[in-house]
């Protein structure tokens, strides 16, 4: 499913699955679609979270919303690593929610 993101002077249409993660930055949200490519929008992270797929996206920190499909590993239950070696902190109180969200993707823990 596509999402239209309003930036400062333009609107960018992207596929939701292309989003790696979103980061809150005050009253703005930066949406990362690659290690070095992002879109800045004046929407709050909470607003972005409300339009993205609940099955694919998980809020793991006050400032971070990640795409579960791009996780490569979790380090010490404190850091999540996405593809391209992007590290994101995991809030202690959101750790169990993250694990249950991963399990809902039908990924088996061994």
> 29: exposed, middle or buried (C-beta count within 10 Å: 0-12, 13-18, 19+)?
buried
Domain span including residue 45: 2-103
- What is the side-by-side strand order in the sheet with 57-61? 38-41, 28-32, 21-25, 64-67, 57-61
Q: 54 lies in a domain?
A: yes
- Render pLDDT for 12-44 as a digit per residue (tens, 0 to 9): 999 999 999 999 999 999 999 987 899 999 999
What CATH number is attached to the domain comprising 88? 2.40.50.1020
Q: Spell out, as residue ranges, where the chain has pLDDT lower than 50.
A: none
Distance in angstroms (rounded) separating the CA atoms of residues 34 and 20: 7
Q: Is there a domain that residue 109 lies in? A: no
CA–CA gap between residue 62 and residue 16 (Å, rounded): 20
- Which residue's structure tokens are 């703005």? 28
Residue 109: per-residue pLDDT: 66
The pLDDT score that the predictor gives to residue 92 is: 93
pLDDT confidence of residue 34: 82
Q: How many structural domains comprise the chain?
A: 1
């Amino acid at each position: 499913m596509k999402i239209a993101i309003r930036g400062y002077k333009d609107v960018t249409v992207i596929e939701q699955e292309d989003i790696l993660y979103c980061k809150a930055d005050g009253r703005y949200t930066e949406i990362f679609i690659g290690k070095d490519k992002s879109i800045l929008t004046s929407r709050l992270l909470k607003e972005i979270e409300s339009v993205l797929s609940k099955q694919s996206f998980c809020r793991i920190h006050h400032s971070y919303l990640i795409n579960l499909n791009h996780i490569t590993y979790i380090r010490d239950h404190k850091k999540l690593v996405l593809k391209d070696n992007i590290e994101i902190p995991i809030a202690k109180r959101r750790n169990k929610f993250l694990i249950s969200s991963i399990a809902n993707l039908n990924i088996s823990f061994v």
